Chains A and B, each alone.
Chain A
Amino acid sequence: MLKIINGGIETLVEDWPGRLGYLGKGMSASGAFDNVGLGLANVLVGNPSGEAGLEITGGFLEAEFDGDHVIAMGGSDMQPTINGQPVPLWESIKVGAGVVIKFLHIGPTGFRCYLAVAGGVDVPAYLGSKSTCIFGSYGGFQGRALVEGDEVLFGEPSADLAALAGRKLKEGAVPQLTNELVLRAIPGPNTCPDYVTEEGMDLLFERVSKIQHTSNRSAYRLEELPDSFFARADGGVGGSHPSNIIDHAYAIRGALNICGNTPILLIADGPTLGGYMCALNVINADLWKVGQGAPGRDFMRFELSNQDEAIAARKEQKELLSEASLA
């Protein structure tokens, strides 16, 4: 068990791939925003890579263990300490009763740190997933962020704790975080010639945009696009703005929604359907990078990709998030 002393800015229970199959019921998949950070931490402690862990956004989580556990951390380096002593990310560590773990603020790169515990976080799965949808207040730990006094339970580890502790990652397996996220993306479903001009699409793939401070687990907002982006004067029956369209499902997670002139990347808890066009999709294997983008600080750029590359990247990521990555 882990008793929360300070929940920090926002600490959520998340798993991967999240709650699949309910888009038509208005429920997005949610899930770990950086599934690579969570996945590698899980692998280190002997869990399936998609097992539920804690997603610590922004930092300042402080909590006390009440028994023996093996833990690992991945993602953004929030300079975690155990009983005041610095501990590294990306390796499994044994902790005992009374151990206090504390996270500071985000470092120069990244925005979310993941804490995996051998056996995984034990919360009831809701509609097939332990992930929290913070926007809809369901799933995870009572549908909300952790607060002081909460007691988080864990499942059964896959092996003896002694065997799970002290594991490290192979060289090259640790993901590199940057302040300019390069996201491979596939155009569609609404592009040129009918919705967007070719120049507009060129611009979308050329420019570097700051992640707006209004971004959250539902939507990452980017800088506005010029009117010349659009290949039409209005949205017809869909609405007066050229970004309007008759309501359609969004290819979430990863769709770039054009909402008025503002491009919004729909992720984790975002809306599943609506009346705005979507010009591209970030490939599934690059979604994790978005979760490490700090609103108001980091930048985003799209790189033209295609199905073959995206599928190869999925396979690579699957391999990465396995015991093959252990040293």
Chain B
Amino acid sequence: MSQGKYQVILDTMPETESRLEILFRQAGDGFMQVEYGREQRALLQDSFRMLAVNDIILAKEIPGLIETVPGIRTNMLHYDPLVISEAELIAAVKEAEDSMPTIDDVVLASRLIHLPIAFEDSETKKAVARYVAEVRPEAPNVIDGYNLEYMAMCNGVSVRECKDMILGTDWFNSGGGFWPGGAFLWPTDPRCAIVVPKYNPPRTWTPEGAVGIGGPCVFTYTTPTGGGYQLFGRTIPVFQFSCTHPLFKDGPFLYRNADRVRFHEVSEKEVVEIYDHVHDKTDYEYQIEQGEIKAKEYIQWYESEEVQTGMQELKAKQAEGTKKAPRL
């Protein structure tokens, strides 16, 4: 560790068989970033472990710890330095880390949320139409009034295959942020890991419930807003400012860290009717199953020949697709 005046690494924990090196980074007088590894990488197994440790940290109910904000490979701790010192906080995190010594210990509580989706619905289509009319008339990512053709093209697959990949994997929430109630959803099955560029420039409007993808992450729009993700359909409300539906009685948010989302295809009519039952009649029953993720099992499955072969096949198609798809 250097002793320079811009030294920001307060402490470290060495790499072990089951975890990366941990860096405790200074982030002002009230925040500290816990970083996993030195390499910029986005792997779900890193997130599984970090969120499991995060649950342990939160369960301690540490006085002065205001909140934790996990990303895919970092966890930001927000604290009151008049209540808990930096050193005490580091000690608490280290204790949580040490309580999870092997990969067998990494078991993460994870709900499975079933969300209906209508592909290429008319409401989301309006957002694409407005983009063409007001922002980028010749947008190459808009084909037949939607972004699905472009998404398929980027990945070297057909539109139907693209839809099947969206429906064929669970989407893991590595943590929220950026927009109220939002979640960054990553594909758990690498054979369904489509990747697309983001809008350039971004949209000015997206309807509530629109579902899009940018880079590798799916995002379900919680409220009407601008945005840059490629749009492919619409799901039901995942956020409710008014907190009138029983599911939202403790806060406007549906998603929790480590949730998995599984989409199933329905008609646009069905999706639209559910809005009425969530926001007005407040009697819609969300389909949510309690569950868990065992990191060791996931890694074994991920590394199996079948999954690896499928992943390589998709990557080959994507390499071809990237050559053909126009840049944004």
What is the interface of chain A, defined by CB distance below 8 A to chain B? 20-27, 127, 136, 138, 186-194, 196, 198, 201, 235-238, 245-251, 254-255, 271-274, 278, 280-284, 304, 307, 310-311, 314-315, 318
Contacts and interface: CB of A to CB of B under 8 A. Distances in A.
A164 to B, nearest CB: 28
B205 interface: no
A272 B180 CA distance: 10
Contacts of A283: 28-29
A235 B39 CA distance: 11
Interface string B69-93: 1111111101001100010000000
B181 interface: yes
Interface of B: 2, 4-8, 25-31, 33, 35, 38-42, 66-76, 78, 81-82, 86, 175-182, 184, 222-223, 241, 251-253, 257
Given A188-B8, A311-B29, A138 B241 contact: yes
B6 A24 contact: no
**Cβ-closest 9 pairs across A and B:** A281-B28, A273-B177, A310-B29, A188-B8, A251-B31, A249-B69, A249-B76, A189-B25, A188-B26
A60 B81 CA distance: 38
Contacts, number: 160
A246 B28 contact: no
Contacts of B6: 187, 191-192, 196, 198, 201
Nearest to A279: B6
B197 to A, nearest CB: 11
By secondary structure, the A interface counts as mixed
Contacts of A186: 26-29
Contact of B29 (A248, A250, A314, A318): A314
Contact of A281 (B31, B71, B75, B241): B31
A272 B177 CA distance: 6
Nearest to A187: B6
A247 B184 contact: yes
Nearest to B217: A247
B4 A24 contact: no
A24 B257 contact: yes
Contacts of B86: 307
B102 to A, nearest CB: 26
By secondary structure, the B interface counts as loop
A59 B315 CA distance: 57
Contact of A246 (B25, B72, B181, B252): B72
Contacts of B39: 236
A311 B177 contact: no
B68 A189 contact: no
Contacts of B241: 138
B82 A315 contact: yes
A187 B69 contact: no
B76 A236 contact: no
B28 A284 contact: yes
Contact of A188 (B4, B28, B38): B28
Nearest to A311: B81
A189 B176 CA distance: 20
Contacts of A193: 2
Of B27, B70, B252, most buried by chain A (CB within 10 Å of CB) is B27
Contact of A311 (B82, B179, B180, B253): B82
B28 A23 contact: no
A248 B31 CA distance: 13
Contacts of B251: 25, 127
A273 B29 contact: no
Nearest to A186: B28
B29 A23 contact: no
20 contacts: A23-B78, A25-B176, A25-B253, A26-B180, A26-B181, A136-B223, A188-B33, A189-B35, A236-B40, A237-B42, A246-B42, A247-B71, A248-B76, A251-B33, A251-B76, A255-B31, A272-B178, A284-B29, A307-B86, A315-B82
A246 B71 contact: yes
Given A189-B35, A248-B33, A282 B28 contact: yes
Contacts of B70: 24, 249
A254 B180 CA distance: 19
Given A186-B26, A198-B4, A255-B27, A273 B178 contact: yes
Contact of B8 (A136, A187, A314): A187
Of A25, A201, A284, A310, most buried by chain B (CB within 10 Å of CB) is A25
Nearest to A278: B27
A241 to B, nearest CB: 13
Contacts of A26: 176-182, 222
Nearest to B41: A237
A24 B5 contact: no
B185 to A, nearest CB: 13
A187 B67 contact: no
Contacts of A25: 176-177, 180-181, 251, 253
Contacts of A284: 28-30
